[in-house]
Amino acid sequence: MSSQVLAELLWVEKYRPKTLSEIVNQEDVVRRLQQFIKERNMPHLLFAGPPGTGKTTAAHALAHDLYGPDYRMYMLELNASDERGIDVIRGKVKEFSRSRLPTNIPFKIVLLDESDNMTADAQQALRRLMEMYVDVTRFILIANYPSKIIEPIQSRCAVFRFIPLRKEDVVKRLRWICMNEGIKCDEEALEVIHDISEGDMRKSINILQASASIGDVNVSNVFKVVGLAHPREVREMIQLALEGKFIEARDRLRELMITYGISGTDIIKQIHRELFGSELAIPESLRVEIADYLGEIQFRLVEGADEEIQLNALIARLALLGRAAKTVKTAK
Protein backbone atom coordinates (compact mmCIF):
# COMPACT_ATOMS: atom_id res chain seq x y z
CA MET A 1 0.00 0.00 0.00
CA SER A 2 3.01 2.26 0.00
CA SER A 3 3.03 4.53 -3.02
CA GLN A 4 -0.70 4.22 -3.70
CA VAL A 5 -1.61 6.30 -0.72
CA LEU A 6 1.32 8.61 -0.88
CA ALA A 7 0.47 9.71 -4.37
CA GLU A 8 -3.13 10.48 -5.18
CA LEU A 9 -4.77 10.72 -8.55
CA LEU A 10 -7.67 12.85 -9.56
CA TRP A 11 -10.80 10.89 -8.86
CA VAL A 12 -11.98 11.25 -12.40
CA GLU A 13 -9.03 9.09 -13.36
CA LYS A 14 -9.05 6.89 -10.28
CA TYR A 15 -12.70 5.90 -10.65
CA ARG A 16 -12.93 5.82 -14.38
CA PRO A 17 -14.63 2.66 -15.68
CA LYS A 18 -12.08 0.44 -17.38
CA THR A 19 -14.41 -1.98 -19.09
CA LEU A 20 -17.76 -1.60 -20.80
CA SER A 21 -19.55 -3.49 -18.04
CA GLU A 22 -18.39 -0.92 -15.48
CA ILE A 23 -20.11 1.93 -17.29
CA VAL A 24 -23.17 2.79 -15.27
CA ASN A 25 -25.67 4.28 -17.63
CA GLN A 26 -25.93 4.53 -21.38
CA GLU A 27 -27.31 0.99 -21.28
CA ASP A 28 -28.35 1.06 -24.94
CA VAL A 29 -24.96 2.16 -26.13
CA VAL A 30 -23.12 -0.32 -23.96
CA ARG A 31 -25.27 -3.22 -25.08
CA ARG A 32 -24.64 -2.48 -28.74
CA LEU A 33 -20.92 -2.01 -28.18
CA GLN A 34 -20.67 -5.30 -26.34
CA GLN A 35 -22.19 -6.95 -29.38
CA PHE A 36 -19.19 -5.71 -31.39
CA ILE A 37 -16.86 -7.30 -28.88
CA LYS A 38 -18.66 -10.59 -29.19
CA GLU A 39 -18.45 -10.49 -32.98
CA ARG A 40 -14.92 -9.08 -32.88
CA ASN A 41 -15.95 -6.77 -35.67
CA MET A 42 -17.37 -3.28 -35.89
CA PRO A 43 -17.98 -0.42 -38.32
CA HIS A 44 -16.51 3.05 -37.94
CA LEU A 45 -18.16 4.69 -34.96
CA LEU A 46 -19.30 8.19 -34.16
CA PHE A 47 -20.01 8.91 -30.50
CA ALA A 48 -22.08 12.03 -30.09
CA GLY A 49 -23.39 13.70 -26.99
CA PRO A 50 -22.85 16.40 -24.38
CA PRO A 51 -19.60 16.60 -22.39
CA GLY A 52 -19.07 14.29 -19.45
CA THR A 53 -21.49 11.57 -20.59
CA GLY A 54 -18.84 8.90 -21.03
CA LYS A 55 -18.03 9.02 -24.73
CA THR A 56 -14.26 8.86 -24.38
CA THR A 57 -14.49 6.45 -21.50
CA ALA A 58 -16.67 4.15 -23.58
CA ALA A 59 -14.19 4.25 -26.44
CA HIS A 60 -11.34 3.30 -24.14
CA ALA A 61 -13.41 0.62 -22.47
CA LEU A 62 -14.34 -0.79 -25.84
CA ALA A 63 -10.69 -1.01 -26.84
CA HIS A 64 -9.86 -2.51 -23.46
CA ASP A 65 -12.48 -5.22 -23.84
CA LEU A 66 -11.33 -5.90 -27.36
CA TYR A 67 -7.57 -6.04 -26.85
CA GLY A 68 -7.08 -6.45 -23.10
CA PRO A 69 -5.21 -4.20 -20.65
CA ASP A 70 -2.47 -3.32 -23.15
CA TYR A 71 -5.05 -1.97 -25.56
CA ARG A 72 -3.15 1.25 -26.12
CA MET A 73 -0.68 -0.66 -28.31
CA TYR A 74 -3.36 -1.08 -30.94
CA MET A 75 -4.98 2.30 -30.68
CA LEU A 76 -3.93 5.75 -31.87
CA GLU A 77 -5.48 8.45 -29.73
CA LEU A 78 -5.68 11.95 -31.02
CA ASN A 79 -7.46 14.88 -29.55
CA ALA A 80 -8.66 16.95 -32.43
CA SER A 81 -8.80 20.08 -30.29
CA ASP A 82 -5.08 19.90 -29.82
CA GLU A 83 -4.09 18.30 -33.11
CA ARG A 84 -6.71 19.11 -35.65
CA GLY A 85 -4.88 20.10 -38.80
CA ILE A 86 -4.73 18.30 -42.08
CA ASP A 87 -1.04 17.58 -41.46
CA VAL A 88 -1.85 15.38 -38.52
CA ILE A 89 -4.36 13.44 -40.57
CA ARG A 90 -2.01 13.03 -43.50
CA GLY A 91 0.92 12.26 -41.22
CA LYS A 92 0.31 10.47 -37.97
CA VAL A 93 -3.13 9.14 -38.74
CA LYS A 94 -2.34 7.92 -42.22
CA GLU A 95 0.88 6.29 -41.07
CA PHE A 96 -0.91 4.40 -38.35
CA SER A 97 -3.97 3.49 -40.41
CA ARG A 98 -2.09 1.85 -43.19
CA SER A 99 0.49 0.08 -41.05
CA ARG A 100 0.41 -3.69 -41.05
CA LEU A 101 -2.13 -5.45 -38.89
CA PRO A 102 -0.71 -7.50 -36.03
CA THR A 103 -1.93 -11.07 -36.47
CA ASN A 104 -3.59 -11.38 -33.08
CA ILE A 105 -6.18 -8.62 -33.54
CA PRO A 106 -8.97 -8.11 -36.08
CA PHE A 107 -8.30 -4.39 -36.65
CA LYS A 108 -6.59 -1.37 -35.13
CA ILE A 109 -8.45 1.64 -33.77
CA VAL A 110 -7.94 5.33 -34.39
CA LEU A 111 -9.66 7.38 -31.71
CA LEU A 112 -10.35 10.98 -32.67
CA ASP A 113 -11.64 12.85 -29.67
CA GLU A 114 -13.41 16.21 -30.05
CA SER A 115 -13.44 15.58 -33.76
CA ASP A 116 -16.02 18.31 -34.30
CA ASN A 117 -13.07 20.66 -33.90
CA MET A 118 -11.36 19.29 -36.98
CA THR A 119 -10.99 21.65 -39.90
CA ALA A 120 -12.96 21.00 -43.07
CA ASP A 121 -9.77 20.10 -44.95
CA ALA A 122 -8.75 17.62 -42.31
CA GLN A 123 -12.17 16.03 -42.41
CA GLN A 124 -11.98 15.60 -46.16
CA ALA A 125 -8.59 13.94 -45.81
CA LEU A 126 -9.92 11.75 -43.05
CA ARG A 127 -12.84 10.62 -45.15
CA ARG A 128 -10.48 9.15 -47.73
CA LEU A 129 -8.46 7.34 -45.08
CA MET A 130 -11.59 5.78 -43.65
CA GLU A 131 -12.31 4.25 -47.01
CA MET A 132 -8.83 3.22 -47.97
CA TYR A 133 -7.79 1.36 -44.85
CA VAL A 134 -11.10 0.05 -43.62
CA ASP A 135 -9.85 -3.52 -43.81
CA VAL A 136 -7.18 -2.94 -41.14
CA THR A 137 -8.32 0.12 -39.21
CA ARG A 138 -11.53 1.34 -37.62
CA PHE A 139 -12.13 4.93 -36.61
CA ILE A 140 -13.96 6.08 -33.53
CA LEU A 141 -14.93 9.73 -33.76
CA ILE A 142 -16.11 11.58 -30.71
CA ALA A 143 -18.01 14.84 -30.93
CA ASN A 144 -20.18 17.19 -28.91
CA TYR A 145 -21.76 18.61 -32.02
CA PRO A 146 -22.09 15.91 -34.67
CA SER A 147 -23.52 18.47 -37.07
CA LYS A 148 -20.01 19.83 -37.43
CA ILE A 149 -18.81 16.54 -38.86
CA ILE A 150 -19.15 16.55 -42.61
CA GLU A 151 -21.94 14.49 -44.08
CA PRO A 152 -19.78 11.91 -45.93
CA ILE A 153 -18.03 10.99 -42.67
CA GLN A 154 -21.26 10.74 -40.75
CA SER A 155 -22.65 8.41 -43.37
CA ARG A 156 -19.66 6.11 -42.99
CA CYS A 157 -20.13 5.75 -39.25
CA ALA A 158 -22.52 3.98 -36.97
CA VAL A 159 -23.76 6.84 -34.83
CA PHE A 160 -24.12 6.38 -31.08
CA ARG A 161 -25.97 9.07 -29.18
CA PHE A 162 -24.92 9.48 -25.60
CA ILE A 163 -27.73 10.93 -23.54
CA PRO A 164 -27.24 13.34 -20.65
CA LEU A 165 -26.84 11.41 -17.43
CA ARG A 166 -29.85 11.10 -15.17
CA LYS A 167 -29.64 12.84 -11.85
CA GLU A 168 -29.98 9.63 -9.87
CA ASP A 169 -27.16 8.02 -11.83
CA VAL A 170 -24.79 10.88 -11.16
CA VAL A 171 -25.72 11.03 -7.50
CA LYS A 172 -25.34 7.29 -7.15
CA ARG A 173 -21.87 7.38 -8.65
CA LEU A 174 -20.80 10.28 -6.44
CA ARG A 175 -22.11 8.49 -3.37
CA TRP A 176 -20.20 5.39 -4.36
CA ILE A 177 -16.96 7.39 -4.70
CA CYS A 178 -17.53 8.98 -1.29
CA MET A 179 -17.98 5.56 0.19
CA ASN A 180 -14.74 4.35 -1.32
CA GLU A 181 -12.90 7.41 -0.11
CA GLY A 182 -14.42 7.19 3.34
CA ILE A 183 -15.96 10.64 3.14
CA LYS A 184 -19.14 11.94 4.73
CA CYS A 185 -21.53 13.38 2.21
CA ASP A 186 -24.97 15.01 2.20
CA GLU A 187 -27.49 13.70 -0.28
CA GLU A 188 -28.53 17.27 -0.99
CA ALA A 189 -24.95 18.31 -1.69
CA LEU A 190 -24.61 15.57 -4.29
CA GLU A 191 -27.78 16.77 -5.98
CA VAL A 192 -26.47 20.31 -6.01
CA ILE A 193 -23.26 19.07 -7.62
CA HIS A 194 -25.29 17.42 -10.36
CA ASP A 195 -27.30 20.56 -10.98
CA ILE A 196 -24.25 22.79 -11.13
CA SER A 197 -22.39 20.56 -13.54
CA GLU A 198 -25.49 20.02 -15.68
CA GLY A 199 -25.12 16.27 -15.66
CA ASP A 200 -21.46 16.39 -16.69
CA MET A 201 -19.94 13.49 -14.76
CA ARG A 202 -16.37 14.69 -15.11
CA LYS A 203 -17.21 18.07 -13.71
CA SER A 204 -19.34 16.51 -10.98
CA ILE A 205 -16.47 14.35 -9.77
CA ASN A 206 -14.04 17.25 -9.87
CA ILE A 207 -16.37 19.37 -7.77
CA LEU A 208 -16.81 16.46 -5.40
CA GLN A 209 -13.07 16.04 -4.94
CA ALA A 210 -12.50 19.74 -4.44
CA SER A 211 -15.34 19.88 -1.88
CA ALA A 212 -13.84 16.96 -0.03
CA SER A 213 -10.53 18.79 0.14
CA ILE A 214 -12.25 21.55 2.11
CA GLY A 215 -13.95 19.15 4.52
CA ASP A 216 -17.20 17.22 4.46
CA VAL A 217 -19.21 17.22 1.28
CA ASN A 218 -22.11 19.44 2.25
CA VAL A 219 -24.03 22.09 0.37
CA SER A 220 -22.06 24.98 1.78
CA ASN A 221 -18.72 23.44 0.83
CA VAL A 222 -19.95 22.66 -2.67
CA PHE A 223 -20.94 26.27 -3.19
CA LYS A 224 -17.65 27.37 -1.71
CA VAL A 225 -15.83 25.29 -4.30
CA VAL A 226 -17.89 26.68 -7.14
CA GLY A 227 -17.23 30.19 -5.90
CA LEU A 228 -13.51 29.58 -5.58
CA ALA A 229 -13.22 27.79 -8.88
CA HIS A 230 -14.67 30.69 -10.76
CA PRO A 231 -12.33 33.60 -10.89
CA ARG A 232 -13.74 36.80 -9.43
CA GLU A 233 -12.95 38.43 -12.76
CA VAL A 234 -16.23 37.11 -14.13
CA ARG A 235 -18.33 39.02 -11.65
CA GLU A 236 -16.14 42.08 -11.97
CA MET A 237 -16.49 41.93 -15.72
CA ILE A 238 -20.30 41.87 -15.50
CA GLN A 239 -20.31 44.72 -13.02
CA LEU A 240 -18.00 46.88 -15.09
CA ALA A 241 -19.96 46.17 -18.24
CA LEU A 242 -23.25 47.13 -16.61
CA GLU A 243 -21.64 50.35 -15.43
CA GLY A 244 -20.75 51.07 -19.03
CA LYS A 245 -17.01 50.71 -18.52
CA PHE A 246 -16.40 48.78 -21.68
CA ILE A 247 -12.62 48.91 -21.85
CA GLU A 248 -12.16 47.84 -18.23
CA ALA A 249 -14.65 45.03 -18.66
CA ARG A 250 -12.78 43.88 -21.72
CA ASP A 251 -9.51 43.88 -19.78
CA ARG A 252 -11.06 41.43 -17.30
CA LEU A 253 -12.32 39.33 -20.15
CA ARG A 254 -8.87 39.16 -21.65
CA GLU A 255 -7.37 38.15 -18.36
CA LEU A 256 -9.87 35.31 -18.12
CA MET A 257 -9.25 34.13 -21.64
CA ILE A 258 -5.54 34.64 -22.01
CA THR A 259 -4.08 34.17 -18.54
CA TYR A 260 -6.53 31.65 -17.14
CA GLY A 261 -7.14 30.08 -20.53
CA ILE A 262 -10.87 29.81 -19.98
CA SER A 263 -12.85 29.21 -23.13
CA GLY A 264 -15.50 31.62 -24.34
CA THR A 265 -18.28 29.10 -23.85
CA ASP A 266 -17.22 28.56 -20.29
CA ILE A 267 -17.18 32.26 -19.56
CA ILE A 268 -20.72 32.50 -20.91
CA LYS A 269 -21.77 29.67 -18.64
CA GLN A 270 -20.19 31.33 -15.65
CA ILE A 271 -21.94 34.59 -16.44
CA HIS A 272 -25.15 32.64 -16.71
CA ARG A 273 -24.58 31.20 -13.27
CA GLU A 274 -23.94 34.66 -11.82
CA LEU A 275 -26.99 36.02 -13.59
CA PHE A 276 -29.55 34.48 -11.27
CA GLY A 277 -27.53 34.89 -8.09
CA SER A 278 -28.47 37.43 -5.48
CA GLU A 279 -25.08 39.16 -5.65
CA LEU A 280 -26.04 40.68 -8.93
CA ALA A 281 -28.45 43.49 -8.09
CA ILE A 282 -30.34 44.19 -11.29
CA PRO A 283 -34.02 44.42 -12.24
CA GLU A 284 -35.58 41.00 -12.73
CA SER A 285 -36.63 41.64 -16.31
CA LEU A 286 -33.02 42.37 -17.14
CA ARG A 287 -31.97 38.90 -16.06
CA VAL A 288 -34.18 37.43 -18.73
CA GLU A 289 -33.00 39.82 -21.38
CA ILE A 290 -29.39 39.05 -20.58
CA ALA A 291 -30.07 35.32 -20.61
CA ASP A 292 -31.62 35.66 -24.03
CA TYR A 293 -28.54 37.35 -25.40
CA LEU A 294 -26.21 34.95 -23.59
CA GLY A 295 -27.79 32.10 -25.49
CA GLU A 296 -27.43 33.96 -28.75
CA ILE A 297 -23.75 34.66 -28.10
CA GLN A 298 -23.04 31.11 -27.05
CA PHE A 299 -24.54 29.99 -30.33
CA ARG A 300 -22.41 32.43 -32.27
CA LEU A 301 -19.32 31.36 -30.33
CA VAL A 302 -19.69 27.87 -31.65
CA GLU A 303 -20.15 29.15 -35.18
CA GLY A 304 -17.71 32.03 -35.14
CA ALA A 305 -13.96 32.43 -35.46
CA ASP A 306 -12.87 34.68 -32.61
CA GLU A 307 -14.27 34.25 -29.13
CA GLU A 308 -13.22 37.64 -27.85
CA ILE A 309 -15.22 39.49 -30.48
CA GLN A 310 -18.34 37.55 -29.55
CA LEU A 311 -17.89 38.25 -25.87
CA ASN A 312 -17.22 41.90 -26.57
CA ALA A 313 -20.61 42.04 -28.26
CA LEU A 314 -21.99 40.71 -25.01
CA ILE A 315 -20.18 43.36 -23.01
CA ALA A 316 -21.60 46.01 -25.33
CA ARG A 317 -25.08 44.60 -24.80
CA LEU A 318 -24.62 44.59 -21.03
CA ALA A 319 -23.45 48.19 -21.13
CA LEU A 320 -26.56 49.18 -23.04
CA LEU A 321 -28.91 47.24 -20.78
CA GLY A 322 -27.12 48.62 -17.74
CA ARG A 323 -27.79 52.14 -18.88
CA ALA A 324 -31.44 51.41 -19.60
CA ALA A 325 -31.86 49.91 -16.14
CA LYS A 326 -30.37 52.97 -14.55
CA THR A 327 -32.73 55.33 -16.34
CA VAL A 328 -35.69 53.19 -15.31
CA LYS A 329 -34.56 53.32 -11.71
CA THR A 330 -34.14 57.06 -11.61
CA ALA A 331 -37.45 57.57 -13.38
CA LYS A 332 -39.19 55.68 -10.62
Partner 1 sequence: MIKYRPKKLDDVINQEKAKEELTKWIELWFKKIPEERAVLLYGPPGCGKTSLIEALAREYGLELIEMNASDYRRKVDLDRIARVAALQKSITGRFKLILLDEVDGISGTADIGALETILDIIQVTMNPIAMTANDPWDPRLRPLRDAVKLVEFRGLTKTDVRKVLKRICNDEGLVCDEDAIDFIAERCEGDLRSAINDLEAVAEGYGRVTLELVKNLLRQRDRDYQPFEVVRRIFISKYAWQAKQAAQQTDLTPDELIQWINENLPRQISDPEDLWHAYEYLSKADVYLGRIVKTGSWDLLSYAVDLMSAGVSLSIVNDVKSKYRWVKYNFPQNVLITAKTKEVRQLREELAEVLAKHLNISKAVARTDVIPYLRVIFNTNVEAAAKLALGLNLSESMVKYISQQNASKIVELMNKLRTESSRKVERPKQERVSERRRDTRGKPGTLDSYFTSKS
Pick the stretch among 34-42, 63-71, 282-290, 301-309 that binds partner 1 (CB under 8 A). Answer: 301-309
Cα–Cα nearest to 172, from 29, 15, 7, 10: 15
Give the Cα separation of 70 and 175 in Å (integer): 30
Nearer to partner 1, 133 or 267 (CB): 267
DSSP state of 259: I
Cα–Cα nearest to 186, from 216, 212, 223: 216
Minimum distance from residue 289 beta carbon to partner 1 (Å): 12
Interacting residues of 310 by C-beta distance below 8 A, sequence separation 6+: 264, 297, 300, 301, 304
Nearer to partner 1, 133 or 212 (CB): 212
Half-sphere exposure of 246 (CA within 13 A, CB side): 12
The count of chain residues that interact with partner 1, using the rule CB under 8 A, is 74
Are β-strands 108-113 and 75-79 bridged in parallel, bridged antiparallel, or unpaired? parallel
Nearer to partner 1, 10 or 288 (CB): 10
Question: Between residue 37 and residue 56, which ones bind partner 1 under the rule CB under 8 A?
Answer: 51-52, 56
256 touches 267 (CB < 8 A) = yes
Could you give the string, one character per residue 57-96, with x where binding to partner 1 holds by CB under 8 A and - elsewhere? x--x----------------x-xxxx--------------
For residue 208, the one-letter residue type is: L
Minimum distance from residue 211 beta carbon to partner 1 (Å): 8
Q: Decide: is 317 part of the binding site for partner 1 (CB under 8 A).
A: yes
Could you say which of 182, 279, 284, 331 contacts partner 1 (CB under 8 A)?
Answer: 182
Question: Between residue 106 and residue 135, which ones bind partner 1 under the rule CB under 8 A?
Answer: 113-114, 119-121
Could you say which of 43, 68, 304, 328 contacts partner 1 (CB under 8 A)?
Answer: 304
- Angle ∠(263,267,51) on CA atoms, nearest 5: 65
- The three-class DSSP label of residue 140 is strand
Nearer to partner 1, 181 or 186 (CB): 181
Give the Cα separation of 232 and 121 in Å (integer): 39
Could you say which of 25, 26, 137, 209 contacts partner 1 (CB under 8 A)?
Answer: 209
Minimum distance from residue 73 beta carbon to partner 1 (Å): 16
Question: Between residue 231 and residue 260, which ones bind partner 1 under the rule CB under 8 A?
Answer: 231, 244, 246-247, 250, 254, 257-260
Q: Decide: is 148 part of the binding site for partner 1 (CB under 8 A).
A: yes
Cα–Cα nearest to 197, from 215, 211, 184, 180: 211
